[in-house]
Amino acid sequence: MQERVQISDEQINRELLSGVLHTPLWFWGLVLLLGAVAGVGVIAAGFLVYFGVGVLGLNRPVFWGFLITNFVFWVGISHAGVMISAILRLTQAEWRRPVTRAAEVLTIFALSTAALFPLIHTGRPWRALYWVFPYDFSRGIWPNVRSPLIWDPSAIFTYLTGTILFVFIALVPDLGMVRDRTTGWRHKLYSVLSLGWEGNPRQWRLQAVAGILLSALILPVFVSVHSIVSWDFGMAVAVETWHATVFAPYFVIGAVHSGVSAVVTMMALLLWIFKLKNYIRPDHFDALGRLLVVVATAWLYFYVLDFFFGMYALEPQEIANRTLIMFQWPMSFMFVLFALASYFIPIPLWLSRKNRRNITLMFWSSILVNIGMWMERFQIIVPGLMRKEPFTFTWGGYAPTVVELAMVTGSFALVGLGLLIFSKFFPLIPAWEQKEGQLLQDEVQVGRAKVPGLVHE
Amino acid sequence: MAKRTALGLYKDAHAAAAAVENLKQGRFTDQDIDILSGTPYPEGAFGEHHIGHKLFVFPFIGAACGFSVGLLLTAGTQLSYPMVTGGKPILSVPPMAIIMYEGTMLGAILFTILGILFESRLPRVRKSVYDARITEGYVGIRVACDAQRFDAALNALKQAGADDVKFDTQPGAATA
């Protein structure tokens, strides 16, 4: 971390609040575009609800397809945010400052979108509610707590609630700042949201303690959520290729891999769209790239572990599943794409410091990772079901329909739209944290060199 | 006796610290003085006293509540529909542990948030003298005192080199 830019508080306010206080024309264009794509997804969901699950490409024995794959994918994306934010806060990493909020907000929208998919997938979402919430007193029907499908909502609810509150608490000082710069109804709104924040020593002290305490509390939740999502599969005895103890750490690390890559994508977009070159610098991409090399390699290790233990016993279903994935078209093509996209193209690229500091390259390679990781989730879920049964005549196939494709595409637009609307109301980079960073930084003379130094309590 | 409030604004943190020192020399207590800033300064930067809090108690209370709710929910739903499957016990402990864990964490987080708000004395409904320049880099030193000591407070703020001094227009009233 050698690059430092000296910025005044006034400039920080002006630059970081410009998205909140002014609405450029492109904003509305982008909202319309994303809204239209998300709208198509909503129409597709309506189509599914009206006509039933027959409009999906599901059939015996493949009852989980694109929608559940997409659910796992978005839960994975949601993991980066809080992971990055919480770990960087706990370790007081200086480069966290511009990254944390955007990453946390990505968590909120990714997780909310993820939570929609299992419900939509049932075809009758309203009938699924009593599976989750114990409200059916009249019939005495309660959630079956023995099912991982019930653990999922409890974990997601905890994680989503925790993340929203985590974001809100860190947002309060900035809400006070926006309140001071707005008039009319917006001033009233931000006055309420900022809870009368004034920035006295007590409030700042509690803000600092809250960051650390909430980080420490949310990290175990973060680990539990994707573990529990993995148990949707790992606890299923009927699908042998899923029934593996390695699934929980494998899913968690995979989630971190795809999630941190998504943060890289988002940081690049933030930099380009909002022109935040004073805050998001090549240093940040360098640091995230180094983190990703470690995370991706750990993820590959778990992938190989899963493969190795699966093949060691030479169980027929396991062999059939791996043969399908690796040697039969089109799964084999997808397998090659997945391997290249999620590891073998980006990681060698990221080993070079020059590449890690090339923001355009980081942007496209991080997108590549997520294309690969989406396919990874698909290859875990669908081939396992296609080769679930012991007899070849009971094997099945799966091809997604337009309805599924529309909903999956719509989910990407929905998350983008959520982030965009959030950026209209709240600064995506925490201004007070930037100011704190400016306050604590100084230049230290070491020999003939001047190096940036930081003071910490 | 009616209270009056004054707010000195300082571009320079040293001047703000000097203002606090002046006020303390003028026998204003920590309770009378409030330091407002748009940036978290290191503790003690303005000579303020250490701020104690009991935030760490809140997550434990929340965790206990969350655990209890999780236990009640999981045990209650299984016991109220006692269907024996495969001769196994009605209460299945491993799944209960998972939901109780989530309940515990949720309770801990919720109570921590309540604790943060409580210990930060938020939400703050009563308005006092304030200036938007505080979130632009100025440090505000606000002093609330009896009307008869108000002039002394103003002098202390001005002597330290305040860029601007604001005060309530009449005893008990506040300006934003």
For B36, nearest residue in chain A (alpha carbons): A200
* Cβ-contact B4, B149 below 8 angstroms: no
Q: Are residues B78 and B110 in the same domain?
A: yes
Say whether B35 and A201 touch across the interface (CB within 8 A): yes
Query: What one-character-per-residue DSSP string does A335-356 give?
Result: HHHHHIIIIITHHHHHTSHHHH
On whether residue A1 sits in a domain, the answer given is no
Which residues are CB-neighbours of B126 under 8 A, at least 6 positions away? B174
Provide the pLDDT for residue B176: 41
Give the CATH number of the domain where residue B150 resides: 3.30.70.120
Q: Under DSSP, is residue B144 helix (H, G, I), strand (E, B) or coil?
A: strand
Give A14 to chain B, closest Cα distance, Å: 10
Contact assessment for residue B139 and residue B106, using Cβ atoms and an 8 Å cutoff: no
pLDDT of B175 reads 47
The interface pTM score, or ipTM, of the predicted complex is 0.91
- Per the domain annotation, does B69 fall within a domain? yes
- Inter-chain residue contact A213 with B56, CB threshold 8 Å: yes
B41 CB neighbours in chain A (<8 A) are 201, 204, 439
| Amino acid A80: pLDDT | 75
Using an 8 Å Cβ cutoff, are B113 and B61 in contact? Answer: no
Handedness of CA A292, A295, A301, A307 (dihedral sign): negative
Q: Which of A165, A169, A199 lies nearest to residue B134, judging by beta carbons?
A: A199
What are the mean pLDDT values of chain A's consecutive 10-residue runs (457 residues total)?
70 86 90 96 95 92 93 90 82 81 91 93 86 79 86 92 93 93 92 92 92 91 90 87 89 91 91 87 91 94 90 87 92 94 95 94 95 94 89 89 96 95 92 84 71 62
Q: What 8-state DSSP symbol labels residue A62?
A: B
> What phi and psi, each to the nearest 5 degrees, are found at residue B41?
-80, 155
Q: What is the pLDDT of residue A131?
A: 81
User: Cβ neighbours of residue A22 under 8 Å, at least 6 residues apart?
Assistant: none
Q: B103 lies in a domain?
A: yes
- Cα–Cα distance measured from residue A235 to residue A244, given in angstroms and rounded to the nearest whole number: 8
Q: Is residue B79 in a domain?
A: yes
Give me the domain span that covers residue B89.
57-119
Does B176 map to a domain? Answer: no
Cβ-Cβ contacts under 8 Å, B55 against chain A: 206, 209-210, 213
- pLDDT of chain B, 176 residues: tens digit per residue: 678 899 999 998 899 999 999 999 888 888 889 999 998 988 888 888 888 899 999 999 999 999 999 999 999 988 988 888 888 899 999 999 999 999 999 999 999 999 999 999 989 887 788 999 998 889 999 999 888 888 898 898 999 888 999 888 765 555 44
- Would residue B175 count as lying in a domain? no
Q: Which residue, among A6, A9, A197, A457, would best test binding to B if mutated, counting the most B CBs under 10 Å from its CB?
A: A9
The answer to whether residue A2 is domain-embedded is no
Location of structure tokens 């995370």? A295
CA nearest to A434, candidates A95, A18, A90? A95
Number of domains in chain A: 1
Q: What's the total number of domains in chain B?
A: 2
Which domain CATH number covers A221? 1.20.1630.10
> Can you give the pLDDT at residue A436?
84
Show the domain range for A96.
9-454
Q: B101 and B150: one domain?
A: no
DSSP B148: G
Question: Which of A198, A231, A439 should we substitute to test contact with B (largest number of B Cβ atoms within 10 Å)?
Answer: A198
Q: What is the pLDDT of residue A453?
A: 66
